[in-house]
Each structure stands twice: as structure tokens, then as C-alpha cells.
Amino acid sequence: MAASEQNGNIADHVTGNASGKILFIEYGDYQCPSCGGAYTNVKSILEEYGNDITFIFRNFPLTTVHPNARAAAAAAEAAGLQGKFWEMHDKLYEGQSDWENLDGTKRTNMFKTYATSLGLDVSKFESDLSAKQVTQKINFDLAVGKAVDVNATPTFFLNGEKLDDKTSSGIVQSDLTDIKAKLDSLIKK
């Protein structure tokens, strides 16, 4: 979704083919183990179907069970303000076990280490972690997710339709048979 007056000028993070035939949306939580499991499989899907897919990631931190999830979402969004959302997205999932159980200062230091490795202005990154724009984006993603009945992570949508539990579980558990069949069907339309 592009930034517009209707959505509060809050743009989605998009990768793949911006004009692909298929809109693939994930509502995810950076601390969620299932989202971490789905991460490499989503990357695989994007590599295989990238020319046909517009992929959007939306933050849906489940802070009651994942206390570091919102801080991780803020790290991704703060990196995004410097044009490195997807790079931080990758670092957070690939390093999930390194930061998921850290407390505030140690967690922030880990995120700053990631920011340094990505060549970000670390002092700007650190101040952006609590910036209004970052908070608004996370809150917006949560509100949109709740409006479309997201209540767990990861939750996936293809062309506006929520994927069934079997297909979503397949993405998490590396059984991509169902999702590939759905993608192939949509591509042929």
C-alpha cells in the first residue's frame, strides 16, 4: 500500500516486483519463533516467484508473549528511515536467537551493532527507535492487521485473501507444496 492521505501517509515496505501479479503480505513478529521459521521459506518463495510477487511485510508484534518484538519492529522501522528496512529485517530474523532474550540496554546495543554493520548513522538510528514516525508505522500495521482479523503470527495473505492454517503452517515448516500450488494457479490466471 502506497502512502496516501487515506492511510495516514504510512507506506508499506515492498520487495519483489512492485507491479507483480500477486500481492503477498506477511504480518510478522520479529521475536516469534514461527515467523523466524517462515523467514527462510518466504525468501525462497521470493527467489523462485520474485518476478510475479509484490511482497509486503507488516509489523504485528505480539508483546504479551514476545516482549522484545516491538523493539525489534522499531529497529527495522528506524533502519527503514535510512533506506535499510529489508537489510535490518534480515538481520533481525537471522540473529533472532542472539537478541530475543536480552533486556533493554543489551538488546538496544545488539540492534546498534546491526545498524553499524549496515552502515547506518547509529546516533540517528538510536534516536529514531523512539521517533513518532516509527511508532505510528508500527501502530498502523497493528491496526490494519486487526482490521483484517490477524490474531497470530505469521499470518499471510495472497491477493487479499487470508491463507488457511494448513498453507501458513507449510510456510513455517518448509512444506511449500500448498503455497506453490496457490501461486502457480494465480500466475496462470
| pLDDT in the model for residue 5 | 40
Q: Measuring CA to CA, which residue among 15, 49, 55, 45 is closest to residue 172?
A: 45
Residues 87-101 have a mean pLDDT of 97
CATH topology for the 5-188 domain: Glutaredoxin (3.40.30)
Share of the chain above pLDDT 90, in %: 84
Amino acid at residue number 24: F
Average pLDDT score, the chain:
92
Q: How far apart are CA 20 and CA 33, in angstroms?
A: 29
The residue extents of the domains of the chain are 5-188
pTM score of the predicted model: 0.92
